[in-house]
Amino acid sequence: MTYRFFLWLAWLPVLLSGCASTLSTQVTRFHAWSPELAQSSFAFVRPVDPSRELEQASYEAAVAAELNRLGLQRAGPGQTARIQVDMSISAQVDSRPVLRPVYQEVPVFRPAWRDAAGRLHPAYWGPNPLGPRLVGHQQLLAAVQVSTLRLRLMDAAAQGQPLRTVFESTARHEADGSLLLAQIAPWLVRSVFVDFPGQNGQVSTVRFDAKTGEVLRPR
């Protein structure tokens, strides 16, 4: 008897959320934000990495656009900004254990039979009409890309005093590596500022329609 084995990929919930047109991020926020800060000026404090100067500038532009939407304005040359923006973004590939189902095709015995004309048909082994049978699972390692944005807004109003953090957030996206960091970065930035400043200490999942960019809210 000959057996054929089939390995079928089992999708991990952490890798894909919903349908393929949905993109999800996990966002953590802490803040001591006050409404008066919305009219402040801001500047980025992290030095520009010469090897990623244009890339970093594009990420800063995305953050600056969200801050502008909140009413803040970027400080001009020679001006002292009240809000200091510390932003970092990175991506790394991790290996995660994945259970994949193993299916086995088990032939079934078909006894001899006569048709309506009286002809005898011999017995035979044939495929199971119910399809392959689940016989267990195999543990494999799958590559998962974790893209992370960390953002801090610090108040420099008190001269001579240490900067006071008034907002900090981390946004993460996990996928099978089909998206590059430059592609996922705008979504991470948007995730941080959805319903800004949000609830203090809140950990939430932000879902987007990947085609329209609309935030998908629970109904």
Q: What is the mean pLDDT of the chain?
A: 84
Q: What is the pLDDT of residues 140-163, one digit of tens each?
A: 888 888 999 999 999 997 666 788
Domain around 195: 15-98+142-216
Beta-carbon count within 10 A of 107 CB: 14
Question: Is 211 domain-assigned?
Answer: yes
Residues 18-35 pLDDT 10s: 345 889 999 999 999 998
Q: Helix H segments across the chain?
A: 53-69, 181-193
Task: Write out pLDDT tens, residues 105-124.
Answer: 888 888 988 888 888 888 88
Q: Is residue 28 part of a domain?
A: yes
User: pLDDT-based confidence at 78, cuts 50/70/90?
Assistant: confident
Asked if residue 135 is part of any domain, the answer here is no
Q: Is 5 within a domain?
A: no
Tell me the DSSP string of 107-167.
-EEE--EE-TT--EE--EEE--TT--EEEEEEEEEEEEEEEEEEEEEEE--STTS--EEEE
Residue 3 belongs to some domain of the structure = no
Q: What is the CA radius of gyration of the chain?
A: 28
Is there a contact between 128 and 107 (Cβ–Cβ < 8 Å)? yes
CATH of the domain at 23: 3.30.160.670
Residue 3: pLDDT band by 50, 70, 90 thresholds? Answer: very low
Cα(62)–Cα(79) distance, integer angstroms: 21
User: Is residue 153 within 8 Å of residue 169, measured between CB atoms?
Assistant: no
**Predicted local confidence at residue 160, as pLDDT:** 65
Number of domains into which the chain is organized: 1
Residue 116 lies in a domain: no
Is residue 72 a part of any domain in this protein?
Answer: yes
Q: Which of 201, 211, 7 is nearest to 104 (CA)?
A: 7
> What pLDDT does 4 receive?
30
